[in-house]
Amino acid sequence: MSVLAPLLARDVSKSYAERLVLDGVDLVANPGQPLGLIGENGSGKSTLLRLLAGTEAPDSGEVARPHDLGYLPQNPEFAFEATMADVLDEAMAPLHECVRRLEQLSCRIQEPGVEREYDEALTWAQRHSAWDADRRTTLALDRLGLGGVSPERRVAALSGGERIRLALASLLARQPECLLLDEPTNHLDDEAMEFLEQLLLELPGVVVVASHDRVLLDRVCSVVVDLDPSHFGVDGAGGSRFGRGFTSYLEHKRRARRRWEEAFVSQQDELKRLRNAAKTTARQVAHDRPPRDGDKYIYQFKGANVQATIRRRVRDAEQRIAVLERDQVPKPPRPLEFDQPLTVAGGSAAWLQLRGLRIEGRLCVDRLDVSAGEHLLITGANGSGKSTLLAVLAGRLPVDSGGLTVSARGIELLPQDVRFSRPTLTARELFALMVDESALSLGELGLLHPRDLGRPVGALSVGQQRRLALAVVVARRPDLLLLDELTNHISLALASELESALERSPGAVVVASHDRWLRQRWSGPTYALRPT
């Protein structure tokens, strides 16, 4: 059986509208060693995946990819009239065709040259388990929560999460030799995530995953590549590579940042000392020593030596300064940090009371109470109604029956899917339209880098748009905040900061989340929804 090929990127760069997104990135993804891509929002993870997949071309550099490649973008596109069956049939077509071809070749196996062709086709079919394709498809649909959906249902009628799970199911069932996944866990429940992790570990080929899912990165990825150079100095400008998963990466990141800061301070101290020496200390050789009587000739001779020594010391200091300035350690940038509480304090009355709440086929809640300042985590499998419940609490969705009392001065909802109606406005302009002037400014919140405040919202990455939406709801200073999948599309650093911000937020918060890292560390009350 032939050896599987790696995925290679050499000195890859990409710009959009004069904005440099990737600069000289090198990447090697080997078969059987799942690679995790991480980095701040806007650092180029999705861009790099598009270049690796071949859906976009780099401005410079080159990519060598296996021919059999599957790619899951964050927002997969389908033909308008396509049904679920159409999507799956198209994905499985190469496997079914290979089986038919093997049957045809087996009837001609005695003909010259057919045996080699048969061996090649057999190797490909065995590598892809082509005879098992239909069973894998059914299993993938079931485990990803689509087993009960009619195959004849049009994709356009599916929810955004269902469309992504359909695209993921078709890729996992097909088992390409190179699999590129952009945030694959955003719409998966626990069972689906465990299924995904198991398959990724079993795939023999190349796997590259851009993900914010810290548990997946820890369990699956044997290599982690950070595209954000601000963590590691100039040596990390093309992507820094780390082994042994996410937890190991975090420790390496802390140590690397500390070494960078120490190297910068040490070099600045050395430059300060040398500049001072060039101006003063180097000229203090035999400084102000008067000649002795009868020793003027010797003094003049020694004075010449003193001047030569001064010139040499000044020259040495200036040469050393020039070397240090040429190879100067860049100042570690101040990390983009979010240190605001997510809510303001409210009164003492109960905030939420739900009794016998029903929406036919979508939601069933017999009793739920959230007190002032309480933080509640909503859990449940896909289809159990988490997003529906938050929409009801926000007053955006009517109910069929039941009682609902909400007591709050300000209610804000951060939905799963963020969409802005005016994408041509800059982030700063849109924020100003959506938030009162008396509120915090967008720059003060620390959710978007200053360079991105003047960019059109439509040009921001999905994660940056979600940061902007979060900035809007926080700046409106709610005393009741509803968060639907808070950490989706959010960088790992910001996810940790938001979890800390939750702990110090005095208002009531209801969080619906699949994030296993967040749920494992949740210390407040939890309410589990059951599918209706």
Return the pLDDT at 386: 93
* Residue located via tokens 């982690």: 224
CA dihedral 214, 219, 223, 224 (to 10 degrees): 0
Q: How far is CA 141 from CA 148, 157, 238, 391, 439, in A?
A: 9, 17, 38, 27, 46
- Helices (H) and strands (E) counted in the chain, each on its own, are 15, 17
Query: How far is it, in rounded angstroms, from Cα 442 to Cα 455?
Result: 13
Residue 202 burial (10 A CB sphere; 0-12, 13-18, 19+): exposed
Return the pLDDT at 291: 54
CB 508 within 8 A of CB 346: yes
What would you report as the CA-atom Rg of the chain, rounded to the nearest whole angstrom? 30
- What 8-state DSSP symbol labels residue 292? P
Asked if CATH classification 3.40.50.300 holds for the domain at 352-528, the reply, yes or no, is: yes
Residue 388 burial (10 A CB sphere; 0-12, 13-18, 19+): buried
Q: What is the mean pLDDT of each run of 10 residues along the chain (532 residues)?
A: 85 89 92 91 91 96 95 91 94 94 89 88 90 94 92 91 93 94 90 93 94 89 82 49 69 76 84 80 54 53 64 77 77 71 75 90 91 92 90 92 89 92 93 83 86 91 92 92 91 85 91 90 91 77
Q: Kindly state the tokens that stand for 525.
A: 């009350």
User: 3-class SS at 353?
Assistant: strand
CB 490 within 8 A of CB 467: yes
Return the pLDDT at 333: 65
Q: How far is CA 19 from CA 13, 16, 249, in A?
A: 11, 5, 28
Return the pLDDT at 236: 40
Question: Sign (positive/negative) of CA torsion 228, 232, 233, 236?
Answer: negative
User: 3-class SS at 67?
Assistant: coil
Query: How far is it, in rounded angstroms, from Cα 341 to Cα 167?
Result: 37
Of 337, 348, 325, the closest CA to residue 498 belongs to 337
- b/e map of 415-435 (b: 16 or more CB within 10 Å)? bbbbebeeeebbbbbbbeebb
Of 381, 377, 380, 404, the closest CA to residue 393 belongs to 404
CA 130, chain centre distance (Å) = 33
Beta-carbon contacts of residue 56 (< 8 Å; ≥ 6 apart): 14, 47, 50
CB 281 within 8 A of CB 347: no
Return the pLDDT at 237: 40
Beta-carbon contacts of residue 134 (< 8 Å; ≥ 6 apart): 92
Query: How far is it, in rounded angstroms, from Cα 71 to Cα 312?
Result: 63
Return the pLDDT at 458: 92
CB 329 within 8 A of CB 260: yes
Q: How far is CA 226 from CA 102, 154, 219, 488, in A?
A: 43, 38, 17, 18
- b/e map of 481-512 (b: 16 or more CB within 10 Å)? bbbbbbbbbbbbbbbbbbbebbeebebbbbbb
